Structure 1
Amino acid sequence: MFSLRADDGDDTRLGFFSDIRDFFTGHEDALSEFDPEADVDGEDRGCWLSPRLIGPDAPGALRRALHPEGGSGDDPVNVWIDLHDTTGRTIGSYFAGAVTLERWEEEEGGTAVATLSCWLASLPEAGAHEVWKAWSRRSPTAVNDWVSLPIGQREGWLEVARKYLGAAGKVNPRREQYTLDGANISDVASFYCAIGEAMNGPGGYYGSNLAALDDCLFGGFGPAAPFRLVWESSEVAADMLGGLPAYHPNASVLDLIVNCLERRGVTVEFA
């Protein structure tokens, strides 16, 4: 379940809807941060989308907000697109700016479809849609739920873990030692899924790129360094991450990850 909430200081609710289409359309390969030819700065420039909201339950409120009386019919507004669990509780949000109502139509059976034009800071991950649906029914209670996702969709898991407002977003207290299960690390995104759960439990987040990992080591998203990290099944990471080029002389992706951890005072113990 989704809803629109006006960014007006009063958090005016503009209606709920059953689904959203043409919104989760992006894909940022976690490996791209190591590729100097990748368009890694593209998300900072923002993007325009035309998502379709399916079945608003308060179409009058939505149309009045986006086509206000006395307005030009295309006066833009800023909104939050909220995601809800099965009880109606908000579990995450995306900010959309300069929103206008481009089209209003009725599908077969009378379902309303509102097509918007809006600006987002970055494209929502394509793989995040199904993860949001799953977490709306039940947030992760066991580690490695992300392993069932195919490579290429785990970036969506990381996006949801970062934005999730429920129990899975809570952080663990600081300890002297943490254990990273490396048995399922089969791409770069897998490492971030695994270390998020090692540090913050099932569905936990602890960075999705080197810059975010470095920030987390200061304590913003969980325990701060220094601490000891016991990396179990490290041979899997050595085979996988160690073979990925980092476009640095004599350095692999694994090298840069370990250097990031050790630079902030983490003692990495390969087991």
Structure 2
Amino acid sequence: MFSLRADDDDRIIGHFSDIQGFFAGHTDALSEFDSEVNSSAEGGFWAHPRLIGPDPSGALQRAWSTQGDSGRALGNLWIDIHDTSGRTIGSYFAGAATQEHWEKGGDGTAVATMSCWLDSLPEEGAYEVWKSWSRRPPSSLNDWVSLPPGQREGWIEVARKRRGVVGKANPRREQYTLDGTHIVDLASFYCAIGEAMNGPGGYYGSNIAALDDCLFGGFGPAAPFRLVWESSEVAADLIGGLPTYLPNASVLDLIINCLERRGVSVEFA
């Protein structure tokens, strides 16, 4: 399901079936309005993931030459996620990677531990989403609704990092429909608008700044267009009262202002 790939020459270092200590982020979508959370994330994070699984080619073992041979620099790497056919469906950059430990159990299972720099911690909820999408990508709208609040940020992360999302050139239409039935928090808004603009499993922003970027194109249709927001009263009740860093402005106010500033005509239905 996973592989390590060298950043400089795309050389595959090895494959592994599981990873621990990597999907460890617990970001609330509202954290963009929390100055303490944002300041603590500046500069990135050091992580120590454990790569687990059979290593029939021995390539991963050769990267970790012997047990206890720690401190060996591996350079900048990519951790690739694969579907059941072996196709790469997403990737995470792991900078300044260094091997820490290697061991192999009696059953032949390899366990390699490394340290690496990440610009942000991958969402804990993304782990199960990647596993699900590796078997079958979403083919219908609102599959994310089954995820409990707190794990939908993981869905958004996978939608953003899924291979082929950046630069996606969808034909622009004059009107799009946003199903607001299930928008019960800020993360569910980004799940819903991603699918409104780009279909099942689609991405169209994960915070106000990212939404603003998407409106210029690159992650789907660019403004201007008309957005018909169905069942808008659900969001008005549940996220309309969420405060922000601005006085007398709710999260919903900022979303609407962002859309309208870029030429989106929002029609509440």
Q: TM-score range by the shorter chain?
A: over 0.9
Q: Deviations over 1:130-173 (max 9, x none)?
A: 00000000111001000000000000000000000168995531
Contact in 1 for aligned 2:55/2:109 (Cα 8 Å): no
- The code of the aligned residue for 1:82 comes to D
1:257 paired with 2:261, answer: no
Counterpart for residue 183 of structure 2: 185
Give me the identity figure in percent: 74
Distance 1:144 1:73 in 2: 45
Contact 1:168 1:203 in 2 (8 A): no
Residues 1-271 of structure 1 aligned to structure 2 (within 5 Å):
1-9=1-9, 11-36=10-35, 38-58=36-56, 60-65=58-63, 67=65, 74-107=72-105, 109-165=107-163, 170=168, 172-271=170-269
- Secondary structure of the structure 2 residue equivalent to 1:122: coil
Encode CA deviations 1:156-206: one digit per residue, 9 max, x unaligned: 000000000168995531000000000000110000000000000000000
Paired AA for residue 20 in structure 1: I
Q: Deviations over 1:25-84 (max 9, x none)?
A: 011110111233x3114334111111011114257422433559xx99522411110000
Q: Cα–Cα, structure 1 residues 42 and 171, in superposed 2: closer, same or farther, change >3 Å?
A: farther
Residues 56 and 2 of structure 1: CA distance in aligned 2, closer, same or farther (over 3 Å):
same
For residues 61 and 264 of structure 2, what CA distance do their matches in structure 1 show? 53
Instruction: Name structure 2 gaps, 5 residues minimum.
Output: none
Deviation at 1:86, TM superposition (A): 0.3
Residue 16 of structure 1 and its aligned partner are, at CA, apart by 0.9
Contact 1:104 1:114 in 2 (8 A): yes
SS at match of 2:120: coil
Once residues 200 and 8 of structure 2 are traced to their aligned partners in structure 1, the CA distance between those partners, rounded to angstroms, is 35
Q: What secondary structure, in the 3-state scheme, does the structure 2 residue paired with 1:124 have?
A: coil
C-alpha distance in 2, partners of 1:168/1:98?
25
Alpha-carbon distance in structure 2 between the residues aligned to 1:263 and 1:167: 25
* SS of aligned partner of 1:98: strand
Aligned-CA RMSD value: 2.1
Distance 1:56 1:6 in 2: 20
Aligned-partner Cα distance in 2 for 1:27–1:73:
29
SS in 2 for 1:113: strand
How far apart are the structure 2 equivalents of 1:168 and 1:87? 22
Q: Using a 3 Å threshold, how does the CA distance of structure 1 residues 117 and 72 change in structure 2: closer, same or farther?
A: closer
The secondary structure found in structure 2 opposite 1:27 is: coil
Measure, in 1, the Cα distance between the counterparts of 2:55 and 2:71: 21
Deviation beyond 2 Å, 4+ runs, structure 1: 41-44, 58-68, 106-110, 166-172
| Aligned-partner Cα distance in 2 for 1:44–1:73 | 25
State the SS of the aligned residue for 2:38: coil
Range moving further from structure 2, 114-123 or 166-175: 166-175
Indicate the SS of the match to 2:170. Answer: coil
Matches of 2:168 and 2:138, distance apart in 1: 12
Q: Give the TM-score normalised by structure 1.
A: 0.93
Which deviates more, 196-205 or 55-64? 55-64
The one-letter amino acid of 1:33's match is E
Letter in 1 for 2:230: E
Question: Match for 2:117: what amino acid?
Answer: W
SS in 1 for 2:72: coil
Structure 1 Cα separation of the partners of residues 171 and 80 of structure 2: 29
